[in-house]
Amino acid sequence: MHPDLTKIIFSEEELRDCVKRMGAQITADYADAHDLLVIGILKGAAIFMTDLVRSIDLPLEMDFMVISSYGDAATTSGRVKIVQDLSCDIKGRDVIIAEDILDTGRTLSKLLKVLELRDPRSISIAALLRKEGAQQFEVPCKYEGFACPDEFVVGYGLDYAQHYRNLPYIGALDRKVYAG
Ligand code: IMP
Ligand code: MG
pLDDT reported for residue 179: 87
Question: 23 in ligand 1 pocket by Cβ < 6 Å?
Answer: no
Catalytic: which of 51, 94, 100, 103?
Answer: 103
Using one digit for the tens of pLDDT, what is the confidence trace for 145-171? 999 999 999 999 999 999 999 999 999
Q: For residue 68, what pLDDT is reported? A: 82
Whether 103 is a known active-site residue: answer: yes
Distance 104 CA to ligand 1 centre (A): 8
Per-residue confidence (pLDDT) for residue 129, from 0 to 100? 98
Q: What distance in Å separates the CA atoms of residue 149 and residue 137, rounded to the nearest whole number? A: 18
Q: Are 37 and 95 in contact (CB under 8 A)?
A: yes
| 3-class SS of residue 66 | strand
Cα(41) to ligand 2 centroid in Å equals 6
Nearest atom in ligand 1 to the alpha carbon of residue 103 is 4
Residues of the chain where predicted confidence (pLDDT) is lower than 50: none
pLDDT at 81: 85
